[in-house]
Amino acid sequence: MHHDSGHFEEDALGKTHDTRLLRRLLPFARPFAPLFAWAALLVVLITGLDLALPYVTKMAVDRYIVPTSSPVTSKADTPRLQRQITADAEDPRVAAVARRYPGIVTRSGDRVTIAQTDLHRLTPKDIATLRRADLAGVAVMAAWFVGIVVINFILNFIQVIVLETAGQRIMHDLRLRLYTHIQSLSLNYFTRHPVGRLVTRVTNDVQNMNELFTSVVHFLFKDLFLLLGITVVLCSISWRLTLVSFAVLPLVAWASVIFARKSRNAFRTLRIKVAEINTRFSETIGGIRIIQLFGQETPNARRFARLNHENYMAGMTQIHVFAVFMPIIEVLAAITLAVIIFHGGLGVAAGQISLGALVAFISYTRMFFRPIRDIAEKYNVMQNAMASAERIFQVLDTREAGRQPVVAGTAAAMSPPPALTVGDIRFDDVTFAYPGHPPVFEHLDIAVAKGETVALVGPTGAGKSSLIHLVAGFFRPTQGNIQINGVDATTIDPATLRAVTALVMQEPFIFSDTLRANITMGKEGISEPEMADILAAARCQDIVERLPQGLETILAEGGKTLSSGERQLITIARAFARNPQLILLDEATSHIDSGTEKRIQAALAELLADRTAFIVAHRLSTIRHAHRILVLNRGRIIESGTHEGLMKSRGFYYNYQQIRG
């Protein structure tokens, strides 16, 4: 268990521009260009409908609700504008109203007219008669309004489905690409990056990409089209009033720039803290027995509390930035509306614009600031996604793999690796060191013939397991090279080498899958008689018989319901199933009791027959029959020979065995 969360701090990121990240994300979006094209078309239609709503209101006010102004002459022969209501004099009901109010309702040709100021002198029924055409027009405008809203709803629903489908499919491909790439990385990478951090990359960070694509497309098309369309409509209504209302835009732009700069840093910090929390939690669950055994619950909780508080502070910083930006936009919007009401009201009073135009102008202005307010939310989403994209590409840019990753489902993934016959293996002046650490061993020269069993013996930290991992291709030598059949092992595809290699580790790992799947590990074509032979050779029959569904029993994660000895037996059966040419046993019997050890000694002897093998073991019974024993100490081979020869020489190996009893 690590005791300092600082060990898990994220790597520092350079100054990454959003445009460069978006360009790198384009290849993931390109296959779904038709979906985005449909979404863009729908957005254009939706924007047009949004722009039509205030204009319908303007038509209703100017044509049907507010009476038109007509010039009249006062008693002082002074011309002035007066709002009047007109109606069709040929309509009998209208004519009847005119006859009832001869001093108020006047007739001129086929029209009757009444001043708006005299309407209160009529009964509501008579007013409704005179304004019947206006009321019908208002009903038509209301029907248009409702129709536009309904069509807008349908198009919005379709657009959301199309965008979300594209976003989900992009997220699907990106997660698969990231997962496949992570699997191809060398073990060096996993020694520096804890599980919780990688889990965050594949889950939370990829999820943020869905929000990025849907929000960015929505912003680039709908909001920008809406802003452009509103500007055009406002200018067509009154360009002077438009210039006055847009006087606050420089302040809006300044606030947006400040907000963008501060929110980006806040989101970067927030993504780092989320990854560190996931890492700490993953480590706690994995080491819960040790934590409880040594009474470290309180110190561990304090460390988590510190991380949680740092995450809280990063979240509060983001909220503060957002909380400042939104009120600023609201204040600027209110100021703009006040200016419009003042100047527009003067224009209506002077007859320069109609009341309906002013109402529409106010509606369009409020609509104009709505996307600007939304920019804050969309920018939050975008910055969150950009911070995630930085981390995702940081993983994808890692080139610590022995081969290029193969995407599942492709022809390369479906085809088996080319055949390899393992012959002689040679270490030529090999030095190896983990990143940031001193060399594990230096200048090793080892030659292993085909079919030879070589045992590696030495104290803890001598480099035995590291040597095994080098043979398996998990790491590359820091200096020198490993040759297989006279060919540099780094030029051999790791999949080709591992297809003929079986590794039984000190800590057996069991997947949360069926027992059969854990033994075959994807190896197809194993018949039931062959499986029975494998189980017999690995002494696993009693395990199969004890489990409720036999080979089809689903094992718990890590094989927690099995004893350590049973888990080790299953991994040995896994080695039998591969029928390998190269055997790597890393303390394969360390977790097996003496009774179980006797059961598998004969199986190991059969497994190692005529196969090249490297064995790391402390137990004499495991290594005494090896063709050769290499004794490692402090990174060097200090003795080499058979068990009998080394015991006769009474050197380090002899003393080592005496100490171990």
Domain locations in the chain as residue ranges: 5-62+138-396
Measure the CA–CA gap between 470 and 440, rounded to whole angstroms: 12
Reported as a single tens digit per residue, the pLDDT across 453-469 is: 999 988 888 888 889 88
Size of the chain in residues: 661
Q: Is 238 left (phi over 0), alpha (psi -120 to 50) or beta?
A: beta
For residue 359, the surrounding DSSP H or E stretch is: helix 355-396
List the alpha helices (DSSP H) in 30-185: 33-59, 92-100, 124-130, 132-184
Measure the CA–CA gap between 49 and 43, rounded to whole angstroms: 10
CA-CA distances (angstroms) from residue 171 to 168, 325, 403?
A: 5, 30, 24
Q: How many CB atoms lie within 10 A of CB 614?
A: 26
How confident is the model at residue 9, as a pLDDT? 47
Q: Are strands 439-448 and 453-457 parallel, antiparallel or unpaired?
A: unpaired
How confident is the model at residue 629, as a pLDDT? 92
Long-range contacts of 201-205 (CB under 8 A, 24+ apart): 201/275, 201/391, 201/392, 201/395, 202/175, 202/178, 204/274, 204/388, 205/271, 205/388, 205/389, 205/391, 205/392
Using the predicted structure, report yes or no on whether residue 96 has a pLDDT greater than 80: yes
Using the predicted structure, report yes or no on whether residue 474 has a pLDDT greater than 50: yes
Give every CB contact of residue 625 below 8 A, 6+ residues apart in sequence: 453, 605, 643
Q: Are 558 and 552 in contact (CB under 8 A)?
A: no
Measure the CA–CA gap between 66 and 60, rounded to whole angstroms: 8
Q: Are 518 and 574 in contact (CB under 8 A)?
A: yes
The mean pLDDT value of the chain amounts to 80
Tally DSSP H helices, then E strands, for the chain: 25, 14
Q: Give the residue carrying structure tokens 């406002």.
A: 234
How confident is the model at residue 218, as a pLDDT? 66
Q: What backbone phi and psi angles, to 5 degrees, belong to 479?
A: -145, 150
CA-CA distances (angstroms) from residue 513 to 175, 483, 516, 556?
A: 22, 36, 8, 8
Average confidence (pLDDT) over 284-313: 82
Across 217-221, 448-452, 565-569, least confident range: 217-221
Q: Are 268 and 14 in contact (CB under 8 A)?
A: no
How confident is the model at residue 5, as a pLDDT? 37
At position 168, the amino acid (one-letter code) is: Q
Measure the CA–CA gap between 273 and 307, rounded to whole angstroms: 7
At position 622, the amino acid (one-letter code) is: T
Reported as a single tens digit per residue, the pLDDT across 158-167 is: 988 888 888 8
Higher pLDDT, 597 or 113: 113
Token pair, residue 420, equals 């390899």
pLDDT band at 503 (very low <50, low <70, confident <90, very high): confident
Question: Strand runs (DSSP E) across 363-516, as ranges?
Answer: 425-433, 439-448, 453-457, 479-484, 487-488, 501-504
Average confidence (pLDDT) over 118-144: 85
Which of 250-259, 305-314, 521-530 is the most confident on average?
A: 305-314
Beta bridge partners of 395: none
Question: Strand runs (DSSP E) across 449-529, as ranges?
Answer: 453-457, 479-484, 487-488, 501-504
Q: Which of 627, 634, 580, 575 lies closest to 600, judged by CA?
A: 575
Across 10-14, 378-382, 455-459, 538-542, least confident range: 10-14
Measure the CA–CA gap between 60 and 140, rounded to whole angstroms: 9
Give ∠ CA 278-279-281 in degrees, rounded to 5.
65
Long-range contacts of 168-172 (CB under 8 A, 24+ apart): 168/210, 169/32, 170/28, 170/29, 170/32, 170/209, 170/210, 170/213, 171/206, 171/207, 171/209, 171/210
Q: Give the residue carrying structure tokens 């994808």.
A: 396
Using the predicted structure, report yes or no on whether residue 153 has a pLDDT greater than 90: yes
Q: Are 653 and 457 in contact (CB under 8 A)?
A: yes
629 three-class SS: strand
- The DSSP letter of residue 10 is P
Average confidence (pLDDT) over 601-622: 77
For residue 8, the surrounding DSSP H or E stretch is: none
How confident is the model at residue 596, as a pLDDT? 66
Beta bridge partners of 389: none
- For the sheet with 487-488, list strands across it: 439-448, 425-433, 479-484, 487-488
Measure the CA–CA gap between 229 and 364, rounded to whole angstroms: 10
Using the predicted structure, report yes or no on whether residue 480 has a pLDDT greater than 80: yes
Give every CB contact of residue 306 below 8 A, 6+ residues apart in sequence: 5
How confident is the model at residue 426, as a pLDDT? 92
Q: How many CB atoms lie within 10 A of CB 352?
A: 14
Using the predicted structure, report yes or no on whether residue 146 has a pLDDT greater than 90: yes
The predicted model scores a pTM of 0.66
Q: How many CB atoms lie within 10 A of CB 364?
A: 23
Q: What backbone phi and psi angles, to 5 degrees, belong to 585?
A: -110, 110
User: What's the CATH number for 5-62+138-396?
Assistant: 1.20.1560.10
